[in-house]
Amino acid sequence: MSSSNTVVEVIGATAAALCLATWLWRERNRLSFPPGPRPIPLLGNIADIPVVKQWEAYRDLGTRYGPIVHLQVLYRHLVIVNDAEVASDLCEKRSAVYSGRPPLPMISDLMGWSWNIGFMDYGPVWKAHRRVLQRYFGNSISSQHTSLLRKNTRLFLSDVLAVPSKFEDYIRRAAAANVLTMAYGIDIARHGDPLVVLADKASNSIIAAGLPGSFAVDWFPFLKHVPEWFPGAGFQRIARESRALSSGMKETPYTVAKEAVREGRAHASLVLDSLNSSDGDISSDDLIKNSAGAMYLAAVDTITAQIMSFIMAMLRNSTACRKVQEELNRAVGDARLPEYADRAQTPFLDACILESCRLYPVAPLGVPHCTSQDDEYRGFRITQGTTIIVNSWAILRDPKRFPDPDAFKPERYLDANGRLDPSAEYPSVTMFGWGRRICPGRYFADSTLWFAAAGLLSCFDLACELDVNGKPIIPTEEMHSGLVAVPAPFSCVITPRSEKHAELVRTAQDDIE
């Protein structure tokens, strides 16, 4: 073959490849975005972004446009997913592309929370942090964690016995005690521990910032550079205050924990465990500090709100509540407090917990994911950098998955013999998130809910407060929006089920290991 033929062939092949690439590029760009409300010039769908009860507004968009809805705000694309199958297709089956986090100029850059794994984009830094947490939590609940839960539940019950009206504070205190011991091996003071005060202030500052997108700077990142004194730049003051708290929350408990390690008096914890690891990728100071610090923010508000939702559900469904107590009478009796081993005998309690998580998920929109490259799904174009919001709340009320979805029906998780039915659809499928970003603390959270619910209902009666006419004030189902959705404040009258139960709670403290 002559060399001129070869040149022609090379040119021909190159031209064909170029044509093919151009055709593919055109095809890709011919794909349209998923359906959604018509954007207005320049600002796009800014008026369609809800500011309260976002999960309901996004569900309504889904009813109009289908399970996958596209919105565009300025240059940012958002995809709202209201369907479990689509969420799994994208965030699980295509997790290599859908595991990022959108940029969070206010929370990460200005408020200084970029060290927190929950806000990190997908990549090697995130992976390194995730390994630390995954190694510590594993894929089940450890006996070390159940004895921690046992201890703090007993303290919680005795606090409730002393001042029942402050039950929410005590739920929060128990959650904080669990996390600070797990993360740092620190035993906190019964009341007003300075580390808890600091961590609460820090997490409140971030919760007060609301959902990502609540500040203009989230949409116009150049505002990051506006000085604090500039009119309208109040967000810079909020950011400065939160920055100081964020740094305190990361550094202070870690310093205390490391001192205890140095002096040989440290309890088992993520810090101790990771420092002792022979794996150099895990024992780095920054990795451990950041991973331990992230746990408080991720765990305390979520757990507190989910237990509050359970109590709210019990007040709204007193027949189910009584049935749980009858089950606990049979499984535990009145001569001792519940132990984790009793869980196998309390399927109805588990079903009630599941149903309260389904109806009142505390992360109704999960945490947004973000795409790391362009993708095509069901013939639609999803571009790189699109924010993916999975509407867990809508999925958990999808009538195809949960018939009669607005009703409290614990029976939906039980088989004909009253045992938990492994083939039932459980809310854990969506309430802990998706794919590579799924909540690493989910097994611990699940056990925490059981301990709190079993302890409370085994020893106490819950009742609605009465109004001036003697009618019970039944809590509404209202949940307040935010990074974590919390039930609207409600009152609950808590009384010991009998003097024997009260005595059990009083003496339980002596039984703490």
Asked if 118 is part of the footprint of ligand HEM (rule: CB under 6 A), the reply reads yes
To the nearest 10°, report the CA torsion of 356, 483, 68, 360. 10
Query: What is the footprint of ligand HEM within residues 179-218 (CB under 6 A)?
Result: 179
C-beta separation of 424 from 412 below 8 A: yes
Closest CA to 182 of 266, 304, 308: 266
Strand partners, 71: 78
Taking the complex as a whole, how short is the minimal distance between the CB of residue 446 and ligand HEM, in angstroms?
Answer: 8
User: Quick one: which of 363, 389, 459, 486 contacts ligand HEM (CB under 6 A)?
Assistant: 363
Beta bridge partners of 70: 79
If binding is defined by CB under 6 A, does position 107 make contact with ligand HEM? no
Q: Is the CB of 59 or the CB of 369 nearer to ligand HEM?
A: 369
Binding region for ligand HEM (CB under 6 A) out of 72-80, 295-303, 378-386, 469-477: 295-303
> Of these, 58, 156, 444, 451, which contacts ligand HEM (CB under 6 A)?
444
Strands 387-390 and 76-81 turn out to be: parallel
Task: Say how far apart CA 347 and CA 340 lie, in whole Å.
Answer: 13
As to burial, measured by CB atoms within 10 angstroms (0-12 exposed, 13-18 middle, 19+ buried), residue 124 is exposed
Is residue 459 part of an annotated ligand binding site?
A: no
Residue 73, strand partner residues: 44, 76
Interface characters, 62-101, with ligand HEM (x: CB under 6 A): ----------------------------------------
Task: Work out whether 133 is an interface residue with ligand HEM (CB under 6 A).
Answer: yes
Which range of residues in 70-78, 361-369, 410-418, 471-479 is near ligand HEM by CB under 6 A?
A: 361-369
Is 306 an interacting residue with respect to ligand HEM (CB under 6 A)?
yes
Q: Which of 94, 130, 135, 323 binds ligand HEM (CB under 6 A)?
A: 130
Handedness of CA 95, 101, 102, 103 (dihedral sign): negative
Identity of residue 258: K
Q: At which residue do the structure tokens 């069901």 appear?
A: 378
State which of residues 347, 433, 455, 475 lies at the interface with ligand HEM (CB under 6 A): 433
Q: Does residue 487 sit in helix, strand or coil?
A: strand
> Quick one: which of 73, 132, 295, 354 contacts ligand HEM (CB under 6 A)?
295
Quote the least distance from Cβ 395 to ligand HEM, whole Å: 12
Q: Shortest gap between Cβ of 432 and ligand HEM (angstroms)?
A: 5
441 binds ligand HEM (CB under 6 A): yes
What tokens were used for 325?
A: 């107590």
Dump the DSSP string for 37-77: PPPBTTTBTGGGS-SSSHHHHHHHHHHHH-SEEEEEETTEE
Q: According to the binding rule CB under 6 A, does residue 131 interact with ligand HEM?
A: no
Of 303, 394, 462, 485, the one binding ligand HEM (CB under 6 A) is: 303
Q: How many CB atoms lie within 10 A of CB 440?
A: 24
Question: Contact with ligand HEM (CB under 6 A): which of 358, 437, 451, 453?
Answer: 437
Number of other residues whose CB lies within 10 A of the CB of residue 231: 6
Residue 432 in the binding site for ligand HEM (CB under 6 A): yes
Residue 235 or 451: the one with the smaller Cβ distance to ligand HEM is 451
SS3 382: strand
Q: Applying CB under 6 A, which of residues 186, 320, 439, 508 lies at the interface with ligand HEM? A: 439
Yes or no: say if 21 and 28 are a contact pair by the CB < 8 Å rule: no
Q: Is 122 in the site for ligand HEM (CB under 6 A)?
A: no
Question: What's the min distance (Å) between Cβ of 436 and ligand HEM?
Answer: 7
Where does this chain touch ligand HEM (CB under 6 A) — which range of 8-16, 33-41, 430-438, 467-475? 430-438
CA distances from 68 to 27, 81, 510 (A): 21, 5, 55
Whichever of 84 and 508 has its CB closer to ligand HEM, that residue is 84
Assess contact for 487 and 132: CB atoms under 8 A: no
| Dihedral (Cα; 250, 253, 256, 259), 10-degree rounding | -50
Of 53-61, 406-414, 426-434, 502-510, the window that binds ligand HEM (rule: CB under 6 A) is 426-434
Residue 142 or 318: the one with the smaller Cβ distance to ligand HEM is 142
As a whole number of angstroms, the distance between CA 445 and CA 179 comes to 11
- Of 190, 197, 186, 340, nearest in space to 260 by CA: 186
Q: Does residue 387 bind ligand HEM (CB under 6 A)?
A: no
CA distance 100 to 368: 9
Does position 440 interact with ligand HEM (CB under 6 A)? The reply is yes
Q: Does 298 bind ligand HEM (CB under 6 A)?
A: yes
Q: Does 362 bind ligand HEM (CB under 6 A)?
A: yes
Report the residue from 253, 366, 410, 427 that binds ligand HEM according to the rule CB under 6 A. 366
d(CA 406, CA 475): 16
Binding site for ligand HEM (CB under 6 A): 117-118, 130, 133, 179, 294-295, 298-299, 302-303, 306, 362-363, 366-367, 431-434, 437-441, 444-445
Binding-site entries: 439
